Copies of this chain bind each other. A is one copy, B any other.
Amino acid sequence: MEKKPEPRWERRKEARPHELIAAALDLFVEKGFTATRLEDVAARAGVSKGTLYLYFDNKEALFKAVVQEGIVPVIEEGEALLQHYEGPAAELLRLVVHRWWETVGASQLAGVIKLMFSEAQNFPEVAQFHYDQVVLRGKRIFAFVVELGIRQGEFRELPVDHCVRLLLAPLLMLAIWRYSLGVCESEPVDAESYLETYLDLAVGGLAARSGA
C-alpha cells in the first residue's frame, strides 16, 4: 500500500512547445490574437501561465511560432506533385486539389489561414512571411497547372493570375468558412462533394470548347 502522491507536474521539455502552439492556434483562430488570453492558452495546453514564458518570449513570439509551425513541409509536397507529371492538366488539377484538401484544407493549416486573414494587418511582417511561404507558393502550383493546360491545348488562353485566384478562392473559402460564418450553419459543408462540383465547374470553365 503505497501512496502515489500524484505529482503536481511533470517535465515535458520537448513536447511543451508543440502543445502550446496547438493550443494557441485553436484559440487564436477562434477568438483572434488580441482576444485570446495567454492564461487560456496555457490552461488548454495543461500548464500554467508561467510555463508559457519558458518557451516563448511573449505573446507575439507565440503568434509567430504558430504561423511558422503551420507551414513546414506541406507546400513542398504539393510542389513535388508537379515534378515529372505527365498527362492532362485537368487530371493534375484533380490531384493537386485533393492533395491540398488532405494536407491543408482538412488540417490545422486551415486554421492558420483563417488566422492570417484576420490578423494580416496587425502583423505585417508575419503576414508577409506567410504570404511568401504559403500563398505565393500555392499560387505557383496552380499557375503551373493552368499553364500546362494552356500549353497542351486543354484550357483556353485566359489570364493566368486571375485563373489562379479564381481557382484558389473556393478552396480558401472552404478552409476559412468553418472557423467563421460556418458556425451559423447547422451542418458543415460536405467537402468531398463540394470539391467534386468545384472540379467539375473549374475544368468546364477552363476547357477549350471543342466546337468553338
Q: List A residues at the B interface (Cβ < 8 Å).
A: 30-35, 114, 116-122, 124, 127-128, 130-132, 135, 156, 158-159, 162-163, 165-166, 168-170, 172-174, 176, 179-181, 183-185, 189, 193-194, 197-198, 200-207, 209-211
Distance in Å: Cβ of A126 to nearest Cβ of chain B: 10
A181 proximity list for chain B (CB < 8 A): 116-117, 120, 127, 130-131, 135
The answer for the CA separation of A116 and B183 in the assembled complex, in Å, is 11
Please tell me which one of the listed residues B30, B131, B174 contacts residue A121 in the complex, with CB atoms under 8 A apart.
B30
Chain B: minimal CB distance from A140 (Å):
14
> Is the CB–CB distance between A180 and B116 below 8 Å?
yes
Interface SS of A by simple majority: helix
